[in-house]
Structure 1
Amino acid sequence: MSKIYCLDIGGSFIKLATGNGDDLQEVEAVATPPEYGAFIDRTADLLAAAGIGPRDRLGVSIAGSIDVDNGSVHAAQLPFLASVDFGSDLGAAIGVRLGTPLKSAIRIENDADCFALAEATFGAGRTFDNVFAIILGTGVGGSQVYRGELIRGFGGSAGEWGHGPFIQKQDPSTPGFVPQFACACGQKGCINTMGGARGLEAMHAAAGNPLRDSKAIIDGWAGGDTACTATVASYVSLLTDALAVTLNITGAEIVPVGGGLSSATALISAIDSGVRHKVLRPRPEPLVIRGQTGQNGGLWGIYAQILKDRAAA
């Protein structure tokens, strides 16, 4: 039986794992090169050194949106992927090293989709039919899995609850005022602009407070600091407004959380409490919980997808 090779590619590191059945073993992590040629070479060399063969399957979890028409990847941390067919180029580079092409096409998925698949298959959502997983990292991401299958929308994407002009214009003198920050998607007032770590920091500074990182703000909130408490209260209120609407639409039964802010246990509990009181049908049990696949959610998610592909072949 062919072996499965999995890559999780981000702006800082490329992680490699291999697996068969229910076993996935992380092999190595290398720094992500800042230039496309070196990026392709290092990734292909990493796979060749790990022993990939022509009949093995390769899956990639990658930050950014994937254009299903031309294979390009649009990611702020990996700008050199925006005008290339990364999967075809990587496959060709691996073929050069092996002396023969890979027999199976490379499967490439967005990292938030992979996290959702990981949680639905191996993690906190494995006993639920309808899983909506969210990322609270630098920004905000999300993806839905229903009965083991990713929900795919127009252009291959769905679940992007962090985008759209949700935060409306307000009077700056209003308590809890949150500006309409500009979003990388081109709009203003997206939940993505305040729901991640950088957004929490921007909210705190916009209220006239000294610059503090997200951990310091959360620690200050936990310790009773007045300014930090006000910032986190505004943050939780806005985030749970948007998430409650999302859950009313999707009907999700469980919301695993990934990303850097997922490690703030008290913050996740506050978000859970807020959401459970705002959804159409209040829940007696926890709804928003920390994901179980953690830093390797991307690897476990693309692994789950390749297992499904192999079973269907």
Structure 2
Amino acid sequence: MRIRRTAAADSSAETARGKLVSGNYFSVLNVSAATGRVLAPRDDRPDASPVVVISDGYWSKEFGRDPTAIGSTLEVNGTTFTVIGVMPPSFFGETFQADPPEMWFPISTLNAVAMFPPSLMEETDSRWLQLMARLQPGVTLQQAGATLTTELRQFLMSDPEIATGPAKWKEAAARAAIEAMSGARGLPPVRSYLTEMLLILRIVVVLVLGVACANLASILLARATARERDVSIRLAVGAGRTRLVRQMLTESLLLGVLGGAAALATAMWGSQAVLAMLYRGAETVVAKVSPDVPTLTFLVALSIVTAALFG
């Protein structure tokens, strides 16, 4: 959602990214404000004073990280909102997207922020909201889904139009179901997109490592062939086999580690290029690419194995 924002000390207007959330949004996500406070259920009432929570990026861009931003006012579509909190730099919301929200408003301010008709809040068949909840201790996703399904069917059957309507309506209500899904990896549409994006990044990394290993193997084999005569001469003059093997293995391992480091640098560069392509035109890119311990462990092991086999 995009909004028009006018600063109290400036008559110029600009566009910012905002999102409508419930009063318990931040508590459900178990996050706190870096400065000030987050929205609370008392802020999400029709008679509550209009308040807003801003992102760290917006705080830095518009307020220069000034602590006095807390308590200042923003005029949005003619309604004055008070800034009550600034979120941590690592918080971008519940979705993983480019250009994340810069402001979070209570849903009760829908008409002021989005200028939608007042009736939208009363329409029971509206589908513009996404629901997330936190499981109670000891409750599984399957149990939560079964409970929600039962309540949904009871709610549908309590509708007079369905209860007294055609049989097919009752059958549809009896088949209605809710599947509780984990939100740890994002909402379903975002999860699907991220899966595709990560698959592309993995392919890039595997291809780069594969090419690096092939080149390293070729270099080691060519080097071994070139040194075959030298090794024969050294053996003939009394050099120990163990010492020669140790020397060649050390050189091969060093070359393998250097090759692995070069492959990692190339893979990181390629991953950043893929991210730039996927988020082309975005002002803010949430995704960050950095090697983790399993990746580094695999890379080191692969470099050592390649060096040992072909060195």
More strand by share: 1
TM > 0.5 fold call: no
More helix by share: 2
**TM bucket, shorter chain:** under 0.3
Using structure 2 for the length normalisation, give the TM-score.
Answer: 0.24
Q: Max radius of gyration: which structure?
A: 2
Using structure 1 for the length normalisation, give the TM-score.
Answer: 0.24
